[in-house]
Amino acid sequence: MTPDTTTGDKTAGAVAGGATRGGVLKGGGIKGRGSGRPGGADRDSAGLSLTLRGLYRTFGTTRALDGLSLDIQPGEFVALLGPSGCGKTTALRIVAGFETADSGSVLVDGSDISAMPAAKRDMGMVFQSYSLFPNMPAIDNVAFGLRLRKLRGPDRHRRALELLDMVGLTDQARQYPHQLSGGQQQRVALARALAIEPQVLLLDEPLSALDAKVRLQLREQIKGLQQRLGITTLFVTHDQEEALSMADRVGVMRSGKFEQVDVPDQLYANPRTAFVAEFVGTMNRLPGTLTSARDVAVLDSVLTVRAGAADGLAGDVDVLVRPEGLRIKAQPGGNGIVTDRAFLGSVSRIGVRLCGAVAVKVDHPSAHAGDFTPGASVQVSLPAEDAVLVAARP
């Protein structure tokens, strides 16, 4: 295997270099484009809207999609996030045309493409597994879709080289897939998907087979290209960090439907359900009791939560709070004992066992975390504004 010699700097340079050219895909003039496509007219790099309308799909007795609906704006980058089996990949495959929905429809730029075969949808797709054609060098892989579109040899070659340059792999143009590292293969796959000027770019966990460093580089590269080309993108992942850092909006899925579709910071700060709260980021769950419409007894004190936070709840509740939402200070005879401490860079994550055997994680600036050694007595408190209330677990 050839080591991935292309560094993050080179990658960034390639993206920046492409940007100065104003985008290689514009004005490429692939023959036959514009006719017979959903929406009809030619388009520039602004992207097309994508709509999923009431998608249902059942495999045997398992309902993979349960009335999934989503509107994606032109040029928007939306991530589908959820645990294994939540239906996110099924949704993507239905959009790509590899699966058929039991009911519901997929619209591109307002036109229903549900009955259209995958080969006619103009959806660029990057797969989780390495999907390059092993018998072709990188440049032929990229040119494959152009060849099917009857682009002439010299033009095809030039455009394939431009796309390889865009992903920083010009030097590897003549190498076969087995001579490329995993990260390089996925970049060629990305160039191949973009070569056909797809209506929508579909990414099916393209980074999950890569190691952490390459994943980070490729994540930035994909996001940079998507922003520059303005291509509507649907990205499936089970990695919340990827979803939150790359997408304009993230749809958190569970059991075939959305729990919440929102921009990343809202998803993190204001999760609408306990599932979203606990799936996205690290969340502490503290037992509490509602003593009035907005007062909840938790951690030996009574908090007045924000209006609406306790709507529909009564009696025993669970209070959800992020590690950075809890306060901690060293205090003999406090309400908790430090169990562990992990250095995360600027903050340290401190594990505390509270009275009643409740374990919580508290983030504290590393510069001031020296006192919180395992066994130390601490006082953990909770500001009211950070509390999210949900029904207590049975």
- Using CB under 8 A as the criterion, which residues of the chain lie in contact with other proteins when the complex forms? 1, 3-4, 96-98, 117-125, 127, 129-135, 144-145, 148-149, 176-185, 189, 192-193, 196, 202, 209-211, 214
Whole-number minimum distance, CB 196 to other proteins, in Å?
6
Whole-number minimum distance, CB 5 to other proteins, in Å?
10
Can you spell out the DSSP letters for 149-174? TT--HHHHHHHHHHHHHHTT-GGGTT
Contact status, residue 240 vs residue 279, Cβ threshold 8 Å: yes
Residue recorded with tokens 């270099």:
17
β-bridge partners, 334: none
Whole-number minimum distance, CB 8 to other proteins, in Å?
13
State the Cα–Cα distance between residues 233 and 201, nearest whole angstrom. Answer: 5
Please say which residue, 174 or 368, places its beta carbon nearer to other proteins: 174
Please say which residue, 114 or 304, places its beta carbon nearer to other proteins: 114
Please say which residue, 151 or 378, places its beta carbon nearer to other proteins: 151
The CB-side HSE value for 45 (13 A sphere, CA atoms) comes to 16
| Amino acid (1-letter code) at residue 178 | H
Please say which residue, 184 or 284, places its beta carbon nearer to other proteins: 184
Please say which residue, 181 or 226, places its beta carbon nearer to other proteins: 181
- Return the H-helix or E-strand segment holding 371: none
Whole-number minimum distance, CB 138 to other proteins, in Å?
11
Please say which residue, 75 or 183, places its beta carbon nearer to other proteins: 183
Contact status, residue 96 vs residue 125, Cβ threshold 8 Å: yes
Burial (CB count within 10 angstroms: exposed 0-12, middle 13-18, buried 19+), residue 36: exposed
Can you tell me whether residue 376 is helix, strand or coil?
Answer: coil
Please say which residue, 100 or 282, places its beta carbon nearer to other proteins: 100
Whole-number minimum distance, CB 192 to other proteins, in Å?
7
Pairing of strands 77-81, 249-254: parallel
Give me the helices (H) in the chain, please.
8-20, 88-96, 138-148, 153-166, 182-195, 212-229, 240-246, 264-269, 274-279
Whole-number minimum distance, CB 361 to other proteins, in Å?
30
State the Cα–Cα distance between residues 323 and 325, nearest whole angstrom. Answer: 5
Whole-number minimum distance, CB 110 to other proteins, in Å?
22
Whole-number minimum distance, CB 250 to other proteins, in Å?
24
Per 3-state DSSP, what percentage of the chain is helix, strand, and coil (rounded to 5)?
Answer: 30, 30, 40
State the Cα–Cα distance between residues 58 and 66, nearest whole angstrom. Answer: 8
Please say which residue, 37 or 249, places its beta carbon nearer to other proteins: 37
Whole-number minimum distance, CB 124 to other proteins, in Å?
7
Please say which residue, 133 or 343, places its beta carbon nearer to other proteins: 133
Can you spell out the DSSP letters for 201-234? EEEESTTTTS-HHHHHHHHHHHHHHHHHHT-EEE
Whole-number minimum distance, CB 103 to other proteins, in Å?
23
Please say which residue, 171 or 385, places its beta carbon nearer to other proteins: 171
Strands, sheet with 62-72, edge to edge from the N-terminal-most edge strand: 62-72, 50-59, 103-108, 111-112
* CA 62 to the chain's CA centroid: 24
